[in-house]
Amino acid sequence: MPTPHQPDPPSLAADRQDRQAPVEPPRLRRAGRRWLLLCAFPALVAGCLLAALWTGSRLYEQPFVWYNLNRIDAVANRTARSLDSVTVVAFGDTALRDATLDERDMAALGAKRGVANLHFLRIVHHRAEFADFEPLLDRVLAIKPALVLIDRDLLTAERGVVEDLTRYLRVLASLPEGRAYLQDQAALQYQRNCGTPASDSQTAMGRSSDAAERVRAFMTRAWAAGIQVALVQVRKPSEPAVIPASAGDLPLWHDVTLAGGSPSPCSAEVQAADGRTAFSAWLAGGIANVVTAPRPAIAKTVRTEAASLP
């Protein structure tokens, strides 16, 4: 009688299956690892290069921070010598620099409007976003200015990582041509493109809802410290101003003369009208109205739609 077939034990069956499976030749395994290394190496190099560029672009901005921290300290030292000093700090794009007179002339305009000892500190950045000024904010709050003005465009402006890296690459590419690596910080703060306010010639900045939250968070901190804060419309709007919903209740100053359009910033007509002096006089009038008026319990309860000369 034939013996019935007995199934193999599990261990024996697995061993037989392993022997029957095709074995990958060592040469193929080595080739696969070689291709993996060849693909991974460029990715690793690209990642290291991007990390180096990003770190370099961040360090490239440090002189801006150091220079303006020193300016803030200098203002604090000057105002400490007089009890009636009024400090106003303004943050913005280079359009704010082009739109306003420098510190000494702003102080003279303030004196004409009843602010005898005005210290106007204007801090600008090229194609500014509010994040550029955040390393300075603690020091600004510490000196207790009477008023902080913020360019309204900082509510939405965002350069983006790609633009920052591209700008830094342009700086590196121009070094063989003899260009200085570090920016001239004094020129950034004081050297204008032309004699008129509010240049609109730059390409449009990106928009970010996070910027409005950053501005609001700072304004909340300032109000809690008893410091008044307001947004200022600097550029002549080529389209209706759009304020994010999250910032819709923030105080906004705008000169009604800016509503008529956006002429060429360097045109002879605008230069003849001395637009910078007119804008600065309007701004000094708004500052005087705020710092000489009785202080409200909470500054943000007052929304200024338009500042006017006294």
Q: How high is the mean pLDDT of the chain? A: 74
Choice among 54-68, 106-120, 257-271 with the minimum mean pLDDT: 257-271
Tokens 């794009």: give the residue: 93
- Cα 306 to chain centroid distance, Å, stands at 25
Q: Contact 265/292 with Cβ under 8 angstroms?
A: no
pTM (predicted TM-score): 0.71
Instruction: Express each pLDDT in 107-148 by its tens digit.
Output: 999 999 999 899 999 999 988 989 999 999 999 999 999 999
Q: What is the pLDDT of residue 297?
A: 47
| Confidence bin at 262 (pLDDT 50/70/90) | very low
Secondary structure (DSSP) of 258-302: GGG----TT-HHHHHHTHHHHHHHHHHHHHHHHHHSPPPSSGGG-
Distance CA 63, CA 107 (A): 27
Q: What is the pLDDT of residue 273?
A: 44
Distance CA 243, CA 209 (A): 10
Backbone angles phi and psi of 91, in degrees to 5: -110, 140
